């Protein structure tokens, strides 16, 4: 089983990912900026991914402040951004996903650990 570790910036919350324009739900400016930042970071890493088998994902979340927050609001932005950046072929391949709240760090960050599952 191959394991990949990727450090990502702290994402915008779900409430800031999308906005409504002319009656249609579109990705907000913050959402587009986050997706672009992740894509740039992946491109600069010179690592080839395109994972196409069944995956297990663990996200260690290092929040920027002690503010109360729901961890489940943090899944969408990083997983969608990793898919858009070509790391994961499709986020429907993720069969096991987990998030752990870690200590506060300045600016916040996510440590994403992706493991290819047996039989993938």
| Separation between Cα atoms, residue 29 and residue 37, nearest integer Å | 12
Range of the domain at 26: 3-116
Q: pLDDT value at position 25? A: 82
CATH classification at residue 25: 3.30.1330.70
Six-digit token string for 101: 């709240």
- pTM for the structure as a whole: 0.88
The count of structural domains within the chain is: 1
pLDDT tens sequence for the chain (120 residues): 799 999 999 998 777 677 788 888 878 889 999 999 999 999 999 898 989 999 999 999 999 999 999 998 899 999 999 999 999 999 999 999 999 999 999 999 999 999 999 865
Q: Distance of CA 111 to CAs 6, 27, 42, 119, Å?
A: 6, 23, 13, 25
Q: Are 51 and 89 in contact (CB under 8 A)?
A: yes
Q: pLDDT value at position 120? A: 54
């Amino acid at each position: 089983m191959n394991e990949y570790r990727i450090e990502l910036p702290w994402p915008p919350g779900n409430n800031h990912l999308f906005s409504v324009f002319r009656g249609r739900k579109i990705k907000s400016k913050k959402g587009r900026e986050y997706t672009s930042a992740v894509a740039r970071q992946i491109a600069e890493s010179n690592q080839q991914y395109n994972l196409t088998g069944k995956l297990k994902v663990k996200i260690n979340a290092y929040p920027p402040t002690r503010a109360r927050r729901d961890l489940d609001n943090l899944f969408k932005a990083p997983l969608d951004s990793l898919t858009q950046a070509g790391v994961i072929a499709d986020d429907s391949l993720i069969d096991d996903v987990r998030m752990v709240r870690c200590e506060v760090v300045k600016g916040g960050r996510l440590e994403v650990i992706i493991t290819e599952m047996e039989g993938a």
